[in-house]
């Protein structure tokens, strides 16, 4: 990945990035100039007026109202300029164009779920290039925040409410979505990819991502495992994350935090999705129930997931 | 010239040396009990100094641990939960147990009554009580750590905090209790300045430090109760689920943020205004020049105190509050930059045609100007709506507030510490060591935090335990984090050096002359070093301004400049 | 900066009244300072309560019908009684200060006792109100489970969304207010022990004055609470 950004900013990849960056640099350079002015003067005075002897008796300086006024008026004008500029860009950032392509975002501890208008669900954010995309976002649990540095967009995601953010990507590449509102242990792992594609490639991806009619339950389960963000907590390769790995789980004896045990059969797997708090495996937190999968998955989807987990 | 009114033959007040063996405030009563039951504002200032120094050490060690974890991607010294608790506790300790009581509790207590010519504050028993209340709050926070700690961030955003562990109950209680200490101190200082000024000490003869503490006290009295009620409501939200802030119960998490920041923004002015007061004193004394723009600086403190209540929403531009609110808050935020700029320009002007003496306190004052100016300009950046959308909740913000809170408040506190150390302890610290430590702090601070500006604007979010998964797309994060961590070691070295040579001076330091800096405020001209228990032999009658260096010589003889040979008065 | 000594009033050295603390020059300075300090403290109390008033206002604006409906469960007659009781107690405490200024010890004592009695009646009425709510399952927070019938209400009617918020705010506001009433009662009791021991006179009655100020604040807060919670 090539970054043609600057010391301060990654290369912009959205239509708003240019004007945000211009304002950033305007303030930056004005600040640098004023800083050099103030600190330079300070440095000069430090030397030019250094104490030469104990007998130094400076004459008091008289208050100069013109000087005082100038350093009230000039900064006021400067801040009014940057305020107005920032305000205009902010209005653009706040109001999505009317023909935006809408994608629903569900944020939860600690994964992202993106739902597309035709019902496709994925944990990757695919967007067509050069087209305004509006994200309608909600959280399943606590505050999260959607941030893509290259797009220069960010917005908090609030539970029980919709918030939104929009952008129009300008180049085809892959970027990082980061959660930027502290949400618990794995806050720094709550990442997703945003893949900017041409309209054709995007359409193709959308078609292929729908679950094929003739997929077996286990294949369907594999897709659901990604789309419902199970992979945020359950690995397939044995790594212990926030929840037990699915590798080799089916059929084994599970030990729970209250000391009881049970075999991981199909009923156990089903109960673990619908009423996860009933049996918590020793050493893991009781955090799955907050996702309310019992409200989000159909019976067929649960069957598919069970079939998938059995195969690991 | 006012000195012509002085009756001939009357010995100048300041020239009187006390008979040898006269007890000072440290020696006239001894023993731990005399300290724990003192009503002397100077001793209470020392009590606070010891407590706050301890909490600064604790908070600082936590910071070093945070930075150490970030030295390498992935786990370095601790797991994610421990890290999240560490940065949360670092901030809680630094903000509530150090910065907010900070300068008012230590230097306000010690110096303010003397600055106005008073024997003590208006309510000495309340003053002592406030220290005990503060320590109770601190103990409660320790309780919170012992029951498992919190990882919510010092901002306690709901619903994460109201759904979390019981330690949140302890922390909210701790903040509530410690808040009362601040309220009591604020009430005390306001009434003291109104009612206890010496004859002739008019409002426009007050040292700018007093104006600063006064403005701070107003903010403390008006703002702190709001964090009090916020903590009560958060406690109840967690304890019995009252449903005000938790959306799962019908509440609104953004309302919590409004409540929280309504206090916490003025809180940052509680932290910076006293610091600015110290800088005024240092710039005047070490330029031997009247502080330029006295009236503007004094009134700008009041303006900042007032405006500070109107801008809390600039912490919430992307929170889901209405764009209209964000616009209004951004507009108001810029207004605060103006009085702040007035101060900075006037301080620099103070050196013009002055006699600048680069002793350690002055080095800190100049360092303040350097670092706080950067902090201030980056504040403009994040006050701009569209740019803040990109910078919010990244390391840019972390760097910004460390530049103003540490580069501002802590640096000014260190300047004040070195400035008033001789007066409070009767000992001189080692000046060359002071300069070395200041240099280490300057280099270490900038290395630690300037790199974080770049980290943030390039996209590194804050409160991240691990950045391994980000290195693919942002390989520069590694080098920047490592540089920042190394900077923290240099910074720590400088701070530990101060601790060392200050403690050393208590035992082996040269006895301080009465007025090593040649300052002309009342604590230097009219009290012994260290001061007696009641500050003054007789109530001073004030007839000139606080920075009239050009007039002081005629009354008190040539001003001493610190070579330890004597106190430069007519009687030597 | 300062020149010489200043003439100080005879009070400052020589005979100092026992109540005059050493860092004050005159009794008047001490009294003025104490009052100013108390006013500042009262301002902090106002800000503390105003946080709760803001919470009330916000939720009321968001769910006006729910709040109007659910507040029917609060008996405005009991609220009115409490209002009258508190206003009376403010009168009695003002009178006690008046009598202090006139060195009328017995009348001062009677007025303070009456004040405590009024405060006690207030707390009794609150106890009746609270237990009445608890009986019907109305608790702050998660315990909110209205049931039963009584006083012309079918409590099940009030088991609606955002009704718990109303009662959370009701209990928190009246609870914190009630706590202040209790603290006031404690302080008045302490004052009475000092009156009986002859500590106060027209020359020094500062604690009575300050407690009176505190009590007026407690009263004023209730004056706002009553209509907002009970009447609208």
- ipTM of this complex prediction, to 2 decimal places: 0.92
CB C48 within 8 A of CB B233: no
Of A119, A197, A112, the residue nearest A147 (C-alpha) = A112
In a domain, C189, yes or no: yes
Q: What is the mean pLDDT of residues A199-215?
A: 82
Residue ranges of A 131-190 with Cβ closer than 8 A to chain B: 141-143, 145, 147, 149-150, 152-156, 158-161, 163, 174-176, 178-189
Q: C214 lies in which domain range?
A: 67-231
In a domain, A173, yes or no: yes
Residue to test with chain A: of B159, B340, B390, most A Cβ within 10 A? B390
CB B160 within 8 A of CB B92: no
Number of domains composing chain B: 1
In a domain, A4, yes or no: no
Instruction: State the count of interchain CB pairs (< 8 A) between B and C.
Output: 156
Q: pLDDT per position in chain B (572 positions), as tens?
A: 333 333 333 333 343 445 556 889 999 999 999 999 999 999 999 999 999 999 999 999 999 999 999 999 999 999 999 999 999 999 999 999 999 999 999 999 999 999 999 999 999 999 999 999 999 999 999 999 999 899 999 999 999 999 888 899 999 999 999 999 999 999 999 999 999 999 999 999 999 999 999 999 999 999 999 999 999 999 999 999 999 999 989 999 999 999 999 999 999 999 999 999 999 999 999 999 999 999 999 999 999 999 999 999 999 999 999 999 999 999 999 999 999 999 999 999 999 999 999 999 999 999 999 999 999 999 999 999 999 999 999 999 999 999 999 999 999 999 999 999 999 999 999 999 999 999 999 999 999 999 999 999 999 999 999 999 999 999 999 999 999 999 999 999 999 999 999 999 999 999 999 899 989 999 998 999 999 999 998 889 998 889 988 877 665 565 544 333 333 332 22
Number of domains composing chain A: 3
Of A259, A303, A308, A248, the residue nearest A281 (C-alpha) = A259
In a domain, B26, yes or no: no
In a domain, A2, yes or no: no
Asked which of A158, A176, A209 is the last residue of a domain, the reply is A209
Flag the least confident range among A265-269, B149-153, B486-490, C51-55: A265-269
Residue C102's pLDDT is 94
Q: For residues C91 and C118, what is the distance between their CA atoms, to the nearest angstrom?
A: 11
For residue B542, the chain C residue with the least C-alpha distance is C2
Quick: pLDDT tens for B189-198: 999 999 999 9
Q: What is the mean pLDDT of residues A6-23?
A: 94
Residue ranges of A 25-84 with Cβ closer than 8 A to chain B: 27-28, 31, 34-35, 38-39, 41-42, 45-46, 49-52, 54-61, 63, 67-68, 71-72, 75-76, 79-80, 82-83
The DSSP element (H or E) to which A192 belongs, if any, is strand A191-197
In a domain, B23, yes or no: no
Q: What does the buried/exposed string (b/e) look like for C91-105 if buried means 16 or more CB atoms within 10 Å of the residue's CB?
A: ebbebbbebbeeebe
In a domain, B178, yes or no: yes
Number of domains composing chain C: 1
pLDDT bracket for residue C7 (50, 70, 90): low
Of B83, B184, B43, the residue nearest B126 (C-alpha) = B184
In a domain, A11, yes or no: no
Distance from the Cα of B208 to chain C's closest Cα (Å) equals 15
Give, in degrees to the nearest 5, the angle at Cα B365 between B360 and B371: 120
Q: For residues A197 and B473, what is the distance between their CA atoms, to the nearest angstrom?
A: 18
Query: Quick one: A177 and A137 in the same domain?
Result: yes
Give the torsion sign (CA, B215, B220, B223, B225). Answer: negative
A35/B377 Cβ within 8 A = yes
CATH code: domain of residue A114: 2.60.40.420
In a domain, B33, yes or no: no
B221/C44 Cβ within 8 A = yes
Distance from the Cα of B286 to chain C's closest Cα (Å) equals 17
Query: Quick one: A201 and A140 in the same domain?
Result: yes
Query: Quick one: A86 and A120 in the same domain?
Result: no
Q: For residues B403 and B520, what is the distance between their CA atoms, to the nearest angstrom?
A: 31
C37/B225 Cβ within 8 A = no
A touches C (3+ CB pairs < 8 Å)?
A: no
Q: For residues B76 and B86, what is the distance between their CA atoms, to the nearest angstrom?
A: 14
Q: Which residues of B touch A60 (CB under 8 A)?
A: 289-290, 548-550
**Among partner residues B188, B226, B250, which is closest to C47 by beta-carbon distance?**
B226
In a domain, B569, yes or no: no
Q: For residues B75 and B468, what is the distance between their CA atoms, to the nearest angstrom?
A: 10
CATH code: domain of residue A235: 1.10.760.10
Instruction: State the count of interchain CB pairs (< 8 A) between A and B.
Output: 267
Residue ranges of A 213-272 with Cβ closer than 8 A to chain B: none
Q: B371 lies in which domain range?
A: 46-556
B195/C140 Cβ within 8 A = no
A1/B473 Cβ within 8 A = yes
Asked which of A173, A192, A209 is the last residue of a domain, the reply is A209
In a domain, B152, yes or no: yes
Query: Quick one: A85 and A126 in the same domain?
Result: no
Of C176, C41, A30, A280, the residue nearest B235 (C-alpha) = C176
Using an 8 Å CB-CB cutoff, list residues of chain C that contact chain B.
1-6, 8, 21-23, 29, 32-33, 36-37, 40-41, 43-45, 47-52, 54-55, 58-59, 139-143, 161-162, 164-165, 168-169, 172, 176
In a domain, C153, yes or no: yes
Asked which of A209, A229, A245 is the last residue of a domain, the reply is A209
CATH code: domain of residue C106: 1.20.120.80
The DSSP element (H or E) to which B223 belongs, if any, is helix B208-240
The partner residues of A155 in beta bridges, in order of sequence, read A146
Query: Quick one: A177 and A229 in the same domain?
Result: no
**Among partner residues C1, C168, C169, which is closest to B552 by beta-carbon distance?**
C1
In a domain, B458, yes or no: yes
Which residues lie closer than 8 Å to A104 by C-beta, 6 or more apart? A114, A115, A116, A135, A136, A137, A138
In a domain, C160, yes or no: yes
Q: For residues B414 and B53, what is the distance between their CA atoms, to the nearest angstrom?
A: 11
Q: Which residue has the higher pLDDT, B77 or A217?
A: B77
Q: For residues B49 and B213, what is the distance between their CA atoms, to the nearest angstrom?
A: 17
Residue B571's pLDDT is 26
Q: Return the SS3 of C147.
A: coil
Query: Quick one: A121 and A173 in the same domain?
Result: yes
Q: What is the mean pLDDT of residues A235-258?
A: 90
Q: CA-CA distances (angstroms) from residue C60 to B251, B403, C53, C55?
A: 13, 41, 10, 8
Q: A43 lies in which domain range?
A: 17-47+63-94
Strands A174-179 and A191-197: antiparallel
Query: Quick one: A150 and A223 in the same domain?
Result: no
Quick: pLDDT tens for C177-217: 999 999 999 999 999 999 999 999 999 999 999 999 999 99
CATH code: domain of residue B395: 1.20.210.10
Residue A10 has pLDDT above 50, yes or no: yes
Other chains touching B, judged by 3 or more CB pairs under 8 Å: A, C
Of A29, A32, A27, A154, the residue nearest A85 (C-alpha) = A27
Task: Note the Cα B12 to chain centre separation in Å.
Answer: 35
Tokens (6 digits) for C26: 């005159």
Give the torsion sign (CA, B487, B488, B489, B494). Answer: positive
User: What pTM value is reported for the model?
Assistant: 0.91
Q: For residues B414 and B498, what is the distance between their CA atoms, to the nearest angstrom?
A: 9
Tokens (6 digits) for A77: 């004008």
In a domain, A57, yes or no: no
């Amino acid at each position: 990945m090539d970054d043609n950004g600057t010391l301060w900013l990654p290369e912009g990849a959205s239509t708003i990035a240019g004007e945000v960056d211009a304002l950033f640099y305007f303030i930056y350079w004005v600040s640098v100039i004023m800083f050099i002015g103030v600190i330079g003067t300070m440095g000069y005075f430090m030397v030019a007026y250094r104490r030469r002897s104990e007998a130094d008796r400076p004459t008091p300086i008289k208050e100069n109202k013109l000087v005082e006024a100038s350093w009230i008026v000039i900064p006021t004008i400067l801040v009014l300029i940057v305020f107005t500029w920032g305000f205009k860009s902010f209005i653009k950032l706040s109001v999505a164009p009317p023909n935006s392509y809408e994608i629903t975002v569900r944020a939860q501890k600690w994964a992202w779920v993106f739902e597309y208008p035709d019902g496709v669900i994925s944990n990757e954010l695919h967007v067509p290039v050069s087209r305004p995309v509006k994200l309608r976002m909600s959280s399943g649990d606590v505050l999260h925040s959607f941030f893509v540095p290259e797009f220069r967009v960010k917005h908090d995601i609030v539970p029980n409410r919709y918030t939104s953010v929009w952008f129009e990507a300008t180049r085809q590449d892959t970027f990082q979505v980061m959660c930027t509102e502290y949400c618990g242990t794995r806050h720094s792992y709550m990442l997703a990819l945003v893949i900017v594609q041409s309209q054709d490639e995007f359409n193709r991806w959308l078609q292929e991502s729908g679950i094929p009619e003739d997929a077996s339950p286990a294949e369907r389960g594999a897709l659901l495992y990604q789309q419902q963000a199970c992979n945020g907590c359950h690995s397939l390769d044995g790594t212990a994350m926030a929840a037990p790995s699915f590798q080799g789980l089916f059929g084994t004896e599970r030990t729970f935090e209250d000391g009881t045990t049970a075999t991981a059969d199909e009923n156990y797997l089903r109960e673990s999705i619908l009423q996860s708090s009933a049996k918590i495996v020793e050493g893991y937190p009781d955090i799955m129930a907050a996702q309310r999968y019992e409200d989000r998955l159909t019976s067929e989807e649960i069957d598919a997931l069970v079939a998938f987990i059995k195969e690991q | 010239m006012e000195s012509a009114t002085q009756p001939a033959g009357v010995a100048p007040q300041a020239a009187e040396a006390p008979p040898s063996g006269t007890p000072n405030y440290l020696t006239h009563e001894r023993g731990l009990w005399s300290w724990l039951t003192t009503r002397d504002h100077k001793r209470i200032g020392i009590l606070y100094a010891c407590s706050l120094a301890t909490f600064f050490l604790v908070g600082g060690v936590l910071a070093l641990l945070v930075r150490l974890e970030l030295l390498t991607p992935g786990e370095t010294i601790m797991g994610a939960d421990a890290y999240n608790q560490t940065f949360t506790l670092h901030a809680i300790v630094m903000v509530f147990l150090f910065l907010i009581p900070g300068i008012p509790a230590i230097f306000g207590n010690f110096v303010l009554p003397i600055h106005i010519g008073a024997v003590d504050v208006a309510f000495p028993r309340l003053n002592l009580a406030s220290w005990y209340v503060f320590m109770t709050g601190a103990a409660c926070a320790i309780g919170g750590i012992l029951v498992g700690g919190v990882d919510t961030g010092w901002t306690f955003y709901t619903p994460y905090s109201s759904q979390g562990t019981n330690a949140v109950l302890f922390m909210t209680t701790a903040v509530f209790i410690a808040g009362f200490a601040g309220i009591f101190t604020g009430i005390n200082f306001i009434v003291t300045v109104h009612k206890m000024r010496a004859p002739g000490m008019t409002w426009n003869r007050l040292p700018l430090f007093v104006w600063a503490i006064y403005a701070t006290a107003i903010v403390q009295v008006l703002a702190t109760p709001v964090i009090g009620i916020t903590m009560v409501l958060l406690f109840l939200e967690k304890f019995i689920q009252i449903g005000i802030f938790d959306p799962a119960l019908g509440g609104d998490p953004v309302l919590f943020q409004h409540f929280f920041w309504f206090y916490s923004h003025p809180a940052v002015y509680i932290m910076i205004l006293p610091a600015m007061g110290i800088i005024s004193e240092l710039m005047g004394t070490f330029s031997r020049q009247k502080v330029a723009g006295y009236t503007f600086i004094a009134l700008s403190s009041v303006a900042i105190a007032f405006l500070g209540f109107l801008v809390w929403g600039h912490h919430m531009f992307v929170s889901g509050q209405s764009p209209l609110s964000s616009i209004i808050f951004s507009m108001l935020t810029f207004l605060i930059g103006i009085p702040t700029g007035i101060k900075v320009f006037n301080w620099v002007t103070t050196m013009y045609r002055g006699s600048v003496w680069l002793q350690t306190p002055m080095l800190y004052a100049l360092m303040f100007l350097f670092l706080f100016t950067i902090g201030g300009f980056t504040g403009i950046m994040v006050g701009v709506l569209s740019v803040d959308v990109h910078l919010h909740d990244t390391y840019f913000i972390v760097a910004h507030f460390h530049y103003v809170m540490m580069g501002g408040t802590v640096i000014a506190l260190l300047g004040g510490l070195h400035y008033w150390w001789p007066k409070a302890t009767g000992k001189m610290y080692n000046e060359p060591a002071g300069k070395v430590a200041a240099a280490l702090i300057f280099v270490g601070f900038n290395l630690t935090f300037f790199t974080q500006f770049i980290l943030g604007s390039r996209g590194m979010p804050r409160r991240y335990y691990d950045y391994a998964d980000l290195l693919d797309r942002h390989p520069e994060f590694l080098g920047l984090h490592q540089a920042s961590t190394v900077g923290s070691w240099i910074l720590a070295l400088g701070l530990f050096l101060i601790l060392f040579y200050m403690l050393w001076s208590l035992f082996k330091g040269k006895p301080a002359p009465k007025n090593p800096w040649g300052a002309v405020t009342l604590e230097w001209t009219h009290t012994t070093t260290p001061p007696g228990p009641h500050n003054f032999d007789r109530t001073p009658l004030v007839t000139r301004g606080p920075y009239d260096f050009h007039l002081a010589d005629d009354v008190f003889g040539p001003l001493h400049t610190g070579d330890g040979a004597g106190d430069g008065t007519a009687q030597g | 900066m300062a020149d010489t000594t200043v003439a100080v009033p005879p009070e400052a050295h020589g005979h100092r009244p026992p109540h005059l603390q050493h860092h004050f020059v005159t009794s008047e300075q001490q009294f003025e300072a104490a009052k100013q300090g108390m006013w500042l403290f009262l301002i902090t109390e106002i800000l503390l309560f105003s946080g709760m008033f803001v919470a009330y206002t916000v939720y009321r604006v968001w769910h006006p019908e729910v709040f109007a409906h659910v507040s029917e469960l609060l008996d405005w007659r009991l609220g009115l009684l409490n209002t009258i009781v508190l206003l009376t107690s403010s009168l009695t405490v003002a009178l006690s200060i008046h009598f202090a200024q006139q060195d009328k010890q017995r009348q001062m004592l009677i007025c303070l006792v009456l004040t405590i009695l009024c405060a006690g009646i207030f707390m009794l009425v609150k106890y009746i109100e609270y237990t009445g709510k608890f009986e019907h399952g109305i608790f702050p927070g998660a315990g909110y489970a209205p049931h039963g019938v009584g006083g012309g209400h079918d409590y099940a009617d009030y088991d609606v969304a955002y009704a718990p918020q109303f009662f959370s705010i009701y209990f928190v506001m009246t609870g914190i207010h009630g706590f202040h009433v209790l603290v006031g009662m404690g302080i008045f009791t302490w004052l009475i022990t000092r009156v009986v021991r002859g500590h106060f006179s027209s020359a020094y009655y500062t604690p009575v004055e300050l407690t009176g100020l505190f009590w007026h604040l407690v009263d004023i807060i209730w004056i706002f609470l009553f209509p907002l919670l009970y009447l609208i």
